[in-house]
Chain A
Amino acid sequence: MKARVVVTPKAAVLDPQGAAVKEAMQHLGMPEVKNVRIGKYLEIDVNGDGAEVEQRLHKLCRDLLSNPVIEDYQLLKE
């Protein structure tokens, strides 16, 4: 299967990159932009697609791909 993992900073964590990009977007003619959060996006090819594989992927999302102290993740399957 193909998995897509989106990692985003938690709401309580300051995201200065997001803040800088928000300002740039506002300056470039889009004052409607209220907030920008910058995270990471991973595309992962995996052999197999059972529930067990997915469970192990979730574990690695928590242990390696994201840091639960500062980030949330979403695992999307294709």
Chain B
Amino acid sequence: MKFAVIQFPGSNCDQDCLRAINGIDGLSAQYIWHKETSLTGFDAVVLPGGFAYGDYLRCGAIARFSPIMNEVIRVAKEGRLVLGTCNGFQVLCEAGLLPGALVRNRGLRFVCDIATLRVEVPDSAFTHGFTQGTLLRMPIAHGEGCFFAETETLRELNEHGQVVLRYCDGTGAITSEANPNGSIENIAGICNRKGNVFGLMPHPDRASDRRLGGTDGAKIFLSMAQTIAGQSARAAA
């Protein structure tokens, strides 16, 4: 199973993503430079964290016009899995593949911490086999991670089960103290209506090795692999 890790000028978690994916049995990851135009042969696409194009203008605003993004949008529409972590989430929102936007943290500070996340959607393509309320711990590191969506968009996100992860405290309670950046309704990660595009501010790539403090992030990549395997099995049947 092949994963493409998109490299924009300014990406800095591309290596973390590559290593995390390659660390999972049966998965292999390959870098794709943002000037490429094809994702043929890849089962899934990952947009890594970092500061694509220096985050000039707005986070993700320029990256979303990179040549590869037309292809990312095409394969997303086709139903292939697309994951955006941190800056990758911002790029997906700017590209219109996910609703809403990410703005400056409420506290104006860059936050660098370990966040506890509650899985709100069990068995999505990215949370395969998780039960509702499962708690995950993953690093966060961002200055512009405050998720914003208009009331109507927010209602739709909730109604269609698109809010996949929320920031919570150690007991799983959604509190304002557990919200690191002021995100509306403690939202940490959302998917599109179809469920094949997922963006989150936390870093699964930095939580994929026991030596680095945890492997909850690897479960996201593993879940993607299981989803793809299930799709192929159904297609073959």
Contact = CB atoms under 8 A, between A and B. Distances in A.
Interface residues of A, number: 13
Interface in A1-50: 9, 12-14, 16-17, 20, 40
Contact of A70 (B57, B65, B103): B103
A69 interface: yes
B53 to A, nearest CB: 12
A-B residue pairs, 5 tightest by C-beta: A69-B101, A70-B101, A16-B108, A16-B106, A67-B101
B73 interface: no
Contact of A67 (B58, B146, B150): B58
Interface of B: 57-58, 61-62, 65, 93-94, 99-101, 103-108, 146, 148-150, 182
B108 A13 contact: no
Given A64-B57, A64-B61, A69 B150 contact: yes
Interface of A: 9, 12-14, 16-17, 20, 40, 64-65, 67, 69-70
Contact of A17 (B93, B99, B100, B108): B108
Contacts of A65: 57
A69 B149 CA distance: 7
A67 B106 contact: no
Nearest to B65: A64
A64 B58 CA distance: 9
Contacts of B146: 14
Contacts of B104: 16-17
B138 to A, nearest CB: 24
A65 to B, nearest CB: 7
Nearest to A38: B104
A45 to B, nearest CB: 18
A9 B204 CA distance: 31
